[in-house]
Amino acid sequence: MAVSSLATVASRLFRRPFASTARQRILEMDAHAAGRVLPLLDGGSLDSEHTTAQLAGLVDAASVAELCDNFTGRRCFVLQHASEPAARLAHIWLLPKFPSGRFDGGAAGSVGVGPTLIGARTHAALPLAAAAPLVSHMLRELSGEAVEALAELPGLSSWIATHTAADLDGKFGVAAADAAMVMALDGVSITAFPTGLRLRTTARPAWEALAAEYAESAAAAEASLYRAAGAQSVGVAYVADTSEEGLRGSGGALGWLAWAQPEREEAGASVEAPARRGGGGCGRGGGYPLRT
């Protein structure tokens, strides 16, 4: 008994450091995958105690730096000025190419396969439009690629809730209109099982059409940022942002934009990127939480 007990204790002592390391690694992986943790390198802060007067004049002369790659394949680029290193003027994430397509609907052709800009943020003292130099840098960096962007649509749910039932009924039918109104009032309800699946399926025709309309408005700041850089709206990524804030603010919808796809000459003919082959599951709840 004594020998057996001693062996058991020794075994646990030897395993514990490895188990602890594994648990820590899993926690780090989860945090990165949820998009809530920036790579552990100094890139300044979006919430530093700087004023608009201090930062506004630095944007055009700022430099772009990549913090680091991480195992998810996402890359973070930041806009900073050497005179105020504690302030991060803006940042943006780049998702790698995804040849099979990221989402299951809302766009056609080869959309959903290229490198994708996502999660644009600016310092608390600056408007989102101040991220324009960072977007321009990314487009130069990705010259020759079919670049796309996913834009958050905060305020979409509140805007949909201002519509009258008669207006929505006439455009989308009673069932889709009612489901869309439920989503607008409580976006998290679409995650309930099993009712959530039926709700978001029923609401989808109305929600996608309304989200596409909203993404073209000035209220959609991130979509406006990409359009100002030459992108065009190509659809909606439905229930793609599955964070609680995203579900409540926009039913998880993201505006989907793309820049004109470059043509490559091969043997005298232009060759397009491969056509999208179904969704990667993010439109069905896999999601890209964007609270970074």
Same domain, 26 and 104: no
Same domain, 29 and 150: no
- Best CA proximity match to 287, nearest among 254, 259, 257: 254
Same domain, 21 and 121: no
End-to-end CA distance of the chain: 54
Q: CB atoms < 10 A from the CB of 212, how many?
A: 18
Least confident of 40-49, 55-64, 70-79, 273-282: 273-282
Residue 118 is encoded by which pair of tokens? 């996502």
Helix (H, G, I), strand (E, B) or coil at 249: helix
CA separation for the pair 57, 72 (Å, rounded): 34
Same domain, 47 and 119: yes
Same domain, 189 and 260: yes
Same domain, 27 and 55: no
Mean pLDDT on 282-290: 35
| Helix pair 221-228, 132-141: axis angle to 10 deg | 50
Would you give the distance in Å from CA 218 to the centre of its chain? 19
Same domain, 208 and 233: yes
Domain count, the chain: 2
Same domain, 122 and 19: no
Same domain, 15 and 159: no
Q: Is the pLDDT of residue 273 over 70?
A: no
Which range of residues forms the domain containing residue 255? Answer: 39-292
Global pTM value: 0.73
CA separation for the pair 251, 254 (Å, rounded): 9
Task: Tell me the pLDDT tens digit for each residue of 117-134.
Answer: 999 999 999 999 999 999
pLDDT of residue 283: 28
pLDDT tier at 202 (50, 70, 90 boundaries)? very high
By percentage, how much of the chain surpasses pLDDT 70?
68
**Which residue has 């005298």 as its token pair?**
268
**CATH assignment of the domain containing 177:** 3.40.630
